[in-house]
A and B are shown apart, each in its own frame.
Chain A
Amino acid sequence: MLTARIEKQLRDYPLMIDLTVNRGEVLVLLGTNGSGKSTVLNLLAGLLTPDKGEISLNGIPIFRSEEGISCPPEERNIGYVFQDYALFPHMTVFDNIAYGLKMRKVPKEIIENQIQATLHDLGISHVRNERVTNLSGGQRQRVALARALIIQPHLLLLDEPLTALDPQARDKIRIELREQLITSNQPSILVTHSIKDAQIIGDKVIMLEKGSVIWTGRPEELESGSGVPDLEPLKCECDEYRDFGAIAID
């Protein structure tokens, strides 16, 4: 289970968020570009340091400002699927997925077997030795998810994981992704600015605007609209996944 209560002064506004995500639950952070969604993920992963607050994973603090506790990213055991996936371009599919296991000194034969099984489950065994630069968008998304899940993370973070896909692939992969996240039985946080992603993949939703939580609820409530803030800007982006400006992380 993840509990986090963090604050960070960003360039244009202060970011403040308080969240809890249980095992097997998917929290969706919804908001427009620059609302601070990706920054939340980077703060949880340890790639940025909060000014104040506390982050605990399964009851163990990985960040606590009062006591000066701050685990580096490599010690948090958090799986992170980056926007555009960040697959290592100089490595093959196998080496990308094996990377986290090698860092954990897992024996070679076990790595081999685990990756074989993962690739088979994802239906991408045929690209095992391909350079990741030769893969399609859907294949890269699967490899990125496999790389993040194979380390058996205590928390899974996904930053706009469907953005790089074409619309047909996106509809299919949304459902697949939901199943994979539930199967992993770990808390997951998905960042998106698509209502459709939130409705299909999420269990609960937090809407962010300029670093502040403006709405919390269940995905189905987005449809009913009761007490939900204006969704027009998101609806527009949902349909087209247009041009994302780089989200300011600091």
Chain B
Amino acid sequence: MKSGSIYSGIRNKQISKILLGLVVLITILFFTLPLLSLLLRITPDEFIAAILKPEVQSAIYLSLLTAAASTVVIVLIGTPLAYLNARVSYRGRDFVETLLDLPIVLPPSVAGLALLVLFGRRGLIGAYLNDVGIAIIFTTFAVVLAQVFVAGPLYIRQAKTAFAMVDQVYESASRTLGASPLITFVKVTIPLAWTGLVSGVILAFARAIGEFGATIMVAGNLPGKTQTMPLAIYGLMQSDLTASIALSLVLISISCIILITIRLLAGRSA
């Protein structure tokens, strides 16, 4: 009786292990198999042929160009705000931070619609711009606008954390040694927050290059003008699946590089 219960205990343990292993395996497959299926769907020759197609190349070029431009804009406008939020406790700071976080959680279609209502021909600002002959909607500029809107908050959030982690005593030391606030920021604060800032830049770039929903609403899907990689994947899906898969693989590669870089940076800062 006693030995029987021992055996059934061992068997139960083995069954639990097998069940746990199955759950883990299914979970891993669920997340990796779709990506792997893309890789298995085309041959290297097909991939190269697809990548060389003009519409594919123009989508890659436009994506890299707009995502780079958006990232530069995000860094330029986001860094002062991130520093302010990290260092100054002004009235309404929490409210401002919540507003800035909103685009991160908003559905991209809502973000796109909001930009459309603001910058459209009859929009709050767009109407005035239209009067002076400036059109934003359905231009490459609109692509950048959409990317900045959805990716900016990621950088601002990360940069704020990076600045907040820099002990203010270093800035005080720099000031007493004769450095102005601006020189202190450049020579002391930025180098000490560097790893966090670079992570923020990479995250923002990744979000910008993958942006779809807001872009298609404010910029449309015009090849060579507003058709970025995610839009081209959607556009080519029915007419040229191979090209669509090739573009997906390019985006997956960029994502992998970004994730590895962030991991390396995180390891270095730790």
**Chain A interface (Cβ within 8 Å of chain B)?**
42, 45-47, 72-74, 76-80, 82, 84, 86-90, 99-100, 103-104, 147, 151
Q: Which of B170, B175, B191 contacts A74 (CB 8 A)?
A: B175
Contact B183 A88 (CB under 8 A): no
Which residues of chain A are within 8 angstroms of B183 by Cβ–Cβ distance?
A: 103
Confirm or deny: B173 has a beta carbon within 8 angstroms of a beta carbon on chain A.
Answer: yes
Which residues of chain B are within 8 angstroms of A76 by Cβ–Cβ distance?
A: 176
Contact A74 B179 (CB under 8 A): yes
Confirm or deny: B178 has a beta carbon within 8 angstroms of a beta carbon on chain A.
Answer: yes
Best-surrounded residue of A42, A74, A80, A100 (most CB of chain B within 10 A): A74
Confirm or deny: B180 has a beta carbon within 8 angstroms of a beta carbon on chain A.
Answer: yes
Best-surrounded residue of B169, B178, B179, B191 (most CB of chain A within 10 A): B178
Given A82-B169, A103-B183: A88 and B188 within 8 A (CB)? Answer: yes
Q: Which of B174, B176, B178, B187 contacts A104 (CB 8 A)?
A: B178
Closest 9 CB pairs of A and B: A103-B178, A100-B177, A73-B175, A86-B173, A80-B176, A86-B169, A90-B191, A74-B178, A73-B176
Contact A73 B172 (CB under 8 A): yes
Contact B175 A99 (CB under 8 A): no
B270 shortest CB reach to chain A, Å: 14
B82 shortest CB reach to chain A, Å: 19
Q: Which of A78, A84, A87, A90 contacts B176 (CB 8 A)?
A: A78
A23 shortest CB reach to chain B, Å: 20
Contact B175 A151 (CB under 8 A): no
Give CA–CA (A113, B169) in the complex, Å.
28
Confirm or deny: B117 has a beta carbon within 8 angstroms of a beta carbon on chain A.
Answer: no
Give CA–CA (A17, B189) in the complex, Å.
33
Interface CB pairs A-B, < 8 A, 6: A42-B172, A46-B176, A73-B175, A84-B169, A86-B169, A88-B188
Given A74-B178, A103-B179: A47 and B172 within 8 A (CB)? Answer: yes
Name the CB-closest residue of A to B183. A103
Give CA–CA (A166, B183) in the complex, Å.
35
Which residues of chain B are within 8 angstroms of A79 by Cβ–Cβ distance?
A: 176
Contact A99 B177 (CB under 8 A): yes
Confirm or deny: B65 has a beta carbon within 8 angstroms of a beta carbon on chain A.
Answer: no
Which residues of chain B are within 8 angstroms of A73 by Cβ–Cβ distance?
A: 172, 175-176
